[in-house]
Amino acid sequence: MQRIGVFVCHCGSNIAATVDVKKVAEMALLEPGVVHAEDYQYMCSEAGQEKIIEAIREKNLTGVVVCSCSPRMHETTFRKAAEKAGLNPYMVEIANIREHCSWIHKDMEEATKKAVILTRAAIAKVNLNTPLKPGESRVTKRALVIGGGIAGIQTALDIADAGYEVDIVEREPSIGGRMSQLDKTFPTLDCSACILTPKMVEASAHEKINIYTYSEVEKVSGFVGDFTVDIRKKARYVDMDKCTGCGVCQEKCPSKKAPSEFNRGLNTRSAIYTPFAQAIPNVPVIDTDSCIKFKTGKCGVCSKVCQAGAIDYTQKDEIVSQKYGAIVVATGFDTIKLDNYDEYAYSQSKDVITSLELERIMNAAGPTKGHLERFSDGKAPKEMVFIQCVGSRCADDRGKPYCSKICCMYTAKHAMLIRDKYPDVNVTVFYIDVRTPGKNFDEFYRRAVEQYGVNYIKGQVGKVIPQPNGKLLVQGSDLLDNRQILKEADMVVLATAIEPNEGVRKIATMLTASIDTNNFLTEAHAKLRPVESPTAGIFLSGVCQGPKDIPETVAQAGAAAVKAIGLLAKDKLLTNPCTAQSDELLCNGCSTCANVCPYGAISYEDKEVNDHGIRETRRIAVVNSALCQGCGACTVTCPSGAMDLQGFSNRQILAEVDAICR
């Protein structure tokens, strides 16, 4: 039996004006286990806390009930006071007789009666409380960043600068990501490579950063502070240590027909290649699908021309296993496939291109060396049409329901750049809305209209019809003029919706991080925890969480880094002790609980148990208390009642129910 002390707070007159506090204390004394009851002006004051401490010491209290304001207000205060007196803080329960009683009832008798019942419920609960101790888990002082685009690079740099080891895993042969494909960036028109490349170099040179390119995350186990990740380093067939990056192999490679991924398939590359000139690491990979040596066994030119002897056709994929304390997801985005938008003739005409393709065309290192030309006949266009919201803001399943956020701005940028470089080209933009919230964004867009004479027409395009003369007939409508427009264009640029990179769902599953129907990773709280996943120790950086532009991505990357640093800076993690626990003698091992756990905190072990003399090996649910957040979903879904939640146990809640219904 517990020895319980009940402390009734007057809260000045906040409680005492409508609740007869003396009566509450008096009635509490009649409850089983209660050995002490008193009332006081302000329990939360220094003097009030002192009373609690004193009573705990003098009367050897094993449990405390404070009848006061909401536990959301002062539970921590009273728990700390109890701890000072040597009592386990989790032996304290609050009866909320202010917000839930004195403040809402006018009749003294009625309010007092209710206060007595609320107190009774708290006493009934404390009778079943057990001392709880926060668990501890160690923190591996190393972070993993999945994705080597600007988001991943920035996060890695920030974490590394704080003094922690960081690994970046990048699927492609080089880091750099989408940003490395861009020509100029809005709203300042900086050259993308000029601002990105130094960051890439800095990351690769940073002593705390280790980059795995051409690698993928294979397996994740463990939990916050103590993840174990297997990384598959795909065979490059080029020795990273020996290669000098001279580029001769790429020059001499006889197989040059593979479409260049980096240039969005607008031109070709060799079978041994680096995606772009500033690639980091500047070590090529062999694409075995197009390599003649791999396909026929004959060739080996690269090996012959390599002075460093770096070519190694026998290389195998390698699995690296590494421990991490925190994981940042920065997997970025791609543009959607346009198969569902036949009306824009993307697959019918080479002159209908996506904006990302236009970036490559406009880039001096791109397939046309920066010249704006039609891919059908190489001629310079005179009439250009941009179509906005292709696949964005779409209610049916042809496209995406969200706004891709970046298109308005990059289209303004493209239009402006074209008008600047080729003043004789007419540029028309068909838009639904122009969205420019951001610093200097609207000014930028207005400049495109006012200074560069870009023709903005409100109204979506219905159809693009390739003409026999090689032109593209764009059929749109001008909603403001109320007329239908038929316009012959030389090139049409589609502001294609963006979507999270494919494969992110697989990664999310491995990390047990939640993901929404659009494949964006879900944040722990939409407003207050936007860079954390609900799964502890997993952080979100960049577009994997939602569409955003470069400055926002970099800001979020920094924020994610700070969150990760905050975690890595701790030596040990204290875990919430109000976690679920499985009774191994009752557990069926049925996996139902794991199905509803939002945190992936439940795993199964084959464990030898002694069930009243029967010894056998059983499949038993084991809760990782470092991951468990204590929601209790598992406790209800468990058919045998093996799962219970500490601090809110079945018996505790039932005792409260009983006390209230008495």
Partner 1 sequence: MQELIKRAKELLEDGTVARVLGWKAGDLPYNPEPAYFDSTESLADFVYNGFCGANLSKYLIEASKLEGKTLVCLKPCDTYSFNQLLKEHRIDRDKAYVIGVGCKGKLDIERIRKMGIKGIEQISGAEMEDAADTLTISTIYGERSCKFADAMLERCHVCKGKEHQVYDELIGESKETKDADRFAEVARIEAMTPEEKFAFFQKELSKCIRCNACRNVCPACSCRKCVFDSNKFDSAQKANVDSFEEKMFHIIRAFHVAGRCTDCGECSRVCPQGIPLHLFNRKFIKDIDEFYGEYQAGMDVNAQSPLTDFTFGDVEPGIVGERG
Partner 2 sequence: MYKIAKENLTALFRLIAGAQELYLPVKTADQVNFGAWSEDAEVDLDTLKSVKSPKDAFFPQSENLYTCRKDGKKISIEPEALKEQNFVIFGMKACDVRGVEVLDKVFLADPVDTFYAARRDHGTIVSMACHEPEESCFCKVFGIDCAEPAADVATWMVADQLYWKPLTEKGEALTKIVESVLEAADNADEKSVEEEKAAIRGIVEKLPYSNLSLGGWNGEVLTEKFDSALWEELYKPCLACGTCTFVCPTCQCYDIKDYDTGHGVQRYRCWDSCMYSDFTMMAHGNNRTSQMQRFRQRFMHKLVYFPANNDGMYSCVGCGRCVEKCPAALNIVKVIKAFEKQGGEKA
Partner 3 sequence: MSIEAKEEFRPKIVAFCCNWCSYAGADLAGSSRLGYPADVKIIRVPCSCRVNPMFILRAFEKGADGVIMCGCHPGDCHYSTGNYYARRRMTLLFSMLDYIGVENGRTRVEWVSAAEGVKFSTTMNEFVEKIHSLGKNVRLGDLRCRN
Residue 377 three-state SS:
coil
Q: Which is nearer to partner 3, 188 or 640 (CB)?
A: 640
Stretch in the footprint of partner 3 (CB under 8 A) among 20-28, 69-77, 371-379, 548-556: 69-77
Please, is 604 exposed, middle or buried when counting C-beta atoms within 10 Å of its C-beta (0-12, 13-18, 19+)? Answer: middle
**Which of 111/427 has CB closer to partner 3?**
111
Task: Give the integer Cα–Cα distance in Å for 538 and 324.
Answer: 11
Give the binding range for partner 1 (CB under 8 A) out of 145-153, 284-292, 303-311, 633-641.
633-641
* Of residues 191, 186, 142, the one with CA closest to residue 162: 142
Binding residues among 552-591 for partner 3 as defined by CB under 8 A:
578
486 interface partner picked from partner 1, partner 3, partner 2, none, CB below 5 to 8 A per type: none
Q: Which does 644 bind (CB under 5 to 8 A by kind): partner 1, partner 2, partner 3, none?
A: partner 1
Using CB under 8 A, pick the residue from 43, 238, 587, 627 that binds partner 1.
587
Cα(196)–Cα(202) distance, rounded to whole angstroms? 10
CA–CA separation, 596 and 598 (whole Å):
6
Would you count residue 615 as binding partner 2 (CB under 8 A)? no
**Burial state string for 275-293 with b = 16 or more CB within 10 A and e = fewer than 16:** bbebbbbbbbbbbeebbeb
401 binds partner 1 (CB under 8 A): no
Considering the rule CB under 8 A, would residue 106 count as an interface residue with partner 2?
Answer: no
Residue type, 303: S
**DSSP run (H or E) holding 623:** strand 614-623
Helix (H) or strand (E) holding 413: helix 407-421
Span of 216-224, 291-299, 317-325, 608-616 interacting with partner 2 by CB under 8 A: 608-616
Q: Of 599-628, which residues contact partner 1 (CB under 8 A)?
A: 604, 611, 616, 619
> Is the Cβ–Cβ distance between 109 and 27 less than 8 Å?
no
CB nearer partner 3, residue 456 or residue 599: 599
Q: Distance between alpha carbon 640 and the CA centroid of its chain, in Å?
A: 35
**Which amino acid is located at 469 in the chain?**
N
The alpha carbon torsion through 120, 125, 126, 132 (nearest 10 deg) reads -160
- The least CB distance from residue 354 to partner 1, in Å, is 31
**Residue 167 binds: one of partner 2, partner 1, partner 3, none (C-beta under 5 to 8 A by kind):** none
Q: By CB under 8 A, tell whether 108 contacts partner 3.
A: no
Nearest residue (CB) to partner 2, 12 versus 32: 32
> Which is closer to partner 1, CB of 53 or CB of 586?
586
According to CB under 8 A, which one of 1, 46, 106, 297 is a site residue for partner 3?
Answer: 106
Closer residue to partner 1 (CB): 290 or 579: 579
Q: Check residue 588 for interaction with partner 1 (CB under 8 A).
A: yes
Q: Rounded to an integer, what distance in angstroms lies between the CA atom of residue 322 and that of residue 384?
A: 51
Select from partner 3, partner 1, partner 2, none the partner in contact with residue 612, using the beta carbon and a kind-dependent cut-off of 5 to 8 Å.
partner 2
Please give the C-alpha separations between residue 552 and each of 182, 449, 453, 546, 558, in angstroms, as whole numbers. 16, 25, 29, 11, 10
Binding partner of residue 630 among partner 2, partner 3, partner 1, none, CB under 5 to 8 Å per kind?
partner 3
Spell out the residues 6+ positions from residue 269 whose beta carbon is closer than 8 angstroms to its own.
250, 256, 258, 259, 260, 262, 263, 275
**Partner from partner 3, partner 1, partner 2, none contacting 114, C-beta within 5 to 8 A by type:** partner 3
Q: Smallest gap, in angstroms, from Cβ of residue 523 to partner 2?
A: 45
Residue 529 near partner 3 by CB under 8 A: no
Structural element, H or E, at residue 204: helix 192-205
**Residue 421 host element (H or E):** helix 407-421
List the one residue out of 586, 592, 581, 593 whose CA is nearest residue 618. 586
Residues in CB range of 257: below 8 A, 6 or more apart? 268, 290
The residue among 378 and 613 lying less far from partner 2, judged by its C-beta, is 613
- For residue 438, the minimal CB distance to partner 1 (Å) is 30
**Residues binding partner 3: what is the number (CB under 8 A)?**
46
106 binds, among partner 2, partner 1, partner 3, none (CB under 5 to 8 A by kind): partner 3
Asked whether 619 and 606 are in contact (CB, 8 A), the reply is yes
Q: Is 654 in the site for partner 1 (CB under 8 A)?
A: yes
Q: Pick out residues in 612-631 that bind partner 3 (CB under 8 A).
A: 629-631
Beta strand extents in 506-601 (DSSP E only): 538-540, 572-575, 580-582
Which of the listed partners (partner 3, partner 2, partner 1, none) does 586 bind, with a CB threshold of 5 to 8 Å by partner kind? Answer: partner 1
Q: Which residues pair with 166 in a beta bridge?
A: 143, 209
**Cα–Cα nearest to 367, from 490, 489, 269, 287:** 269
Question: What's the min distance (Å) between Cβ of 636 and partner 2?
Answer: 23
Q: Which residues pair with 461 in a beta bridge?
A: 476
Binding residue for partner 2, selected from 30, 201, 364, 479, defined by CB under 8 A: 30
Query: From the list 586, 622, 647, 648, which residue makes contact with partner 1 (rule: CB under 8 A)?
Result: 586
How crowded is the C-beta side of 275, counted as CA atoms within 13 Å? Answer: 21
Tell whether residue 83 is a contact of partner 1 (CB under 8 A): no
Which range in 127-135, 428-436, 533-541, 611-619 contacts partner 2 by CB under 8 A?
A: 611-619
3-state secondary structure of 594: helix
Which partner, partner 2, partner 3, partner 1, none, binds residue 30 by CB below 5 to 8 Å per kind? Answer: partner 2
Q: Does 121 bind partner 1 (CB under 8 A)?
A: no
* Contact status: 614 vs partner 2 (CB under 8 A): yes
Rounded-to-integer distance, Cα 284 and Cα 302, Å: 11
CB 124 within 8 A of CB 660: no
Interacting residue ranges for partner 3, rule: CB under 8 A: 70-72, 96, 98-101, 103-107, 110-111, 113-114, 117-118, 121, 514, 522, 524, 534, 578, 596, 598, 629-633, 635-637, 645, 648, 650, 653-654, 656-658, 660-662
Residues at the contact surface with partner 2, assessed by CB under 8 A:
30, 32, 612-614, 658, 661-662
Residues binding partner 1 (CB under 8 A): 583, 585-592, 595-596, 604, 611, 616, 619, 637, 639-641, 644, 650-651, 654
